[in-house]
Structure 1
Amino acid sequence: MTDENNTKKQLVEGWHGRYYEDFSVGDIYKHPFGRTVTETDNVWMTNITMNLNPMHFNEAYAAETEFGERLVDGTFVIALAVGMSVIDVSVNATANLGYDTIRHHAPVYHGDTIFAESEVIKKRESSSRDHVGIVTTELRAYNQDGTKVLSLERTPMVLKRAYAEPSAAQPPGWPEGIGVQPDTTQTPTDE
């Protein structure tokens, strides 16, 4: 397939995520992109979850504490770090089995930028499902100063490569037939 400028166009596979076979104990993935936490993030999470601790929504109250200002809701920090890890750890997960050993190491404030990394600490075949394996990672989150603010163990069931059928035309999460599709009736010509 070529365009009016004779530029050859082709579907090229992008990142499809890791499959069970791609994980090795000891691997560390630094997840792309930091994310700055806003006051809106904190207020929404606090309201959505009905977290009534005034430390998260009452500036006058929080100013009188040892922290001197509102703290970001810890469950938001967990959700953010887990979300940041999906691109490397669980794009091909069929289920999350658990979140364990959750520790908040330092407070997070409005305006902090969070970065996350995951280290593979265990992996094993599933004893009940042939199409997945079980991977446990330690997820660690840091602020812009390098202070560790969160750690937890995360255990998803991850699809095995033999049971996945991603392609350039239908990557994970795309329905069949959406967007540009390979032209199976013509062979691209090179000039």
Structure 2
Amino acid sequence: MVDTDDSESDDRDAPEGTDEDARRLVSGWQGRFYEDFQVGDIYKHPYGRTVTETDNVWFTNVSMNLNPMHFNEAYAAETEFGERLVDGTFVIALAVGMSVIDVSQNATANLGYDDIRHHAPVFHGDTIFAESEVLDKRESDSRDHVGIVTTELRAYNQDDDLVLSLERTPMVLKREHAQPSAAKPPGWIEGVGTQPEDLD
């Protein structure tokens, strides 16, 4: 389980006997590793995201979704919804993307998306919020450096209506294999940017 203590971490304190204004590399958020997940934990992902008309039109065009509910206002106005609906696959992509910071920043692969349900429509101007609950975790049978984590991802609109739920299962790196550091956080390659020797 991730420590939720709000006190500043030790790596923010100046080493004993040094100038408090000394430059130092400080680790930021490095994402969760396999060891950090615990069944029953719920992560409310940071930030909400308002869906715009541009999002919907762009995504519909890029994905070649030819259903006029997404791009034909005159047609959509005559349906039970009275206006265009946001492409459901955009809502999936948005919610999954929002969850990456907490669930799969250190994933090596996504093994599956299961039990996908659209519970309510999403309209232009709706703001989406997402959270993930850890359902299961297990060691990989074929790879020592990762474990397998299953979460339920839930997305809500600004009125607290559940609009989407799905299960996703990534393979997540174990910390000992990732060896994150302030000089080489996840996603960086060796030797880029400020290095410890640059601070001497």
> Is the aligned partner of 1:48 residue 2:62?
yes
- How far has the Cα of 1:113 moved from its partner? 0.4
Pick aligned residue for 2:142 from 128, 131, 144: 128
Q: Which residue of 2 aligns with 1:93?
A: 107
Q: Which residue of 2 aligns with 1:174?
A: 188
> Is the aligned partner of 1:157 residue 2:157?
no
TM-score, normalised via structure 1 length: 0.92
Identity of aligned residues (%): 81
Q: Deviations over 1:82-102 (max 9, x none)?
A: 000000000110000000000
The answer on whether the counterparts of 2:33 and 2:174 sit within 8 Å (CA) in structure 1 is yes
Pick aligned residue for 2:131 from 117, 142, 158: 117
In terms of mean alpha carbon deviation, does 172-181 or 144-153 score higher? 172-181
- How far has the Cα of 1:166 moved from its partner? 1.2
TM-score, normalised via structure 2 length: 0.88
- How far has the Cα of 1:50 moved from its partner? 0.6
The answer on whether the counterparts of 2:30 and 2:180 sit within 8 Å (CA) in structure 1 is yes
After superposition, the Cα gap between the structure-2 partners of 1:99 and 1:6, relative to the gap in structure 1 and judged at 3 Å, is closer
Structure 2 Cα separation of the partners of residues 6 and 129 of structure 1? 44
Following TM superposition, the consecutive aligned residue runs of length 4 or more in structure 1 with deviations greater than 3 angstroms are none
After superposition, the Cα gap between the structure-2 partners of 1:180 and 1:57, relative to the gap in structure 1 and judged at 3 Å, is same
Q: Which residue of 2 aligns with 1:72?
A: 86
Q: Which residue of 2 aligns with 1:189?
A: none
- How far has the Cα of 1:41 moved from its partner? 0.5
Structure 1 Cα separation of the partners of residues 134 and 182 of structure 2? 28
> Gaps spanning 5+ residues in structure 1: where?
187-191
- How far has the Cα of 1:35 moved from its partner? 0.4
Structure 1 Cα separation of the partners of residues 109 and 182 of structure 2? 24
Structure 1 Cα separation of the partners of residues 143 and 188 of structure 2? 24
In terms of mean alpha carbon deviation, does 160-169 or 84-93 score higher? 160-169
> Is the aligned partner of 1:31 residue 2:45?
yes
User: Matched residue of 2:136: which SS?
Assistant: strand
> Gaps spanning 5+ residues in structure 2: where?
1-18
More helix by share: 2
Structure 2 Cα separation of the partners of residues 55 and 137 of structure 1? 31
Structure 2 Cα separation of the partners of residues 163 and 74 of structure 1? 37
The amino acid across from 1:149 in the alignment is: V
> In angstroms, what is the RMSD of aligned CA positions?
1.6
Q: Deviations over 1:38-75 (max 9, x none)?
A: 00100011001110000000000000000000000000
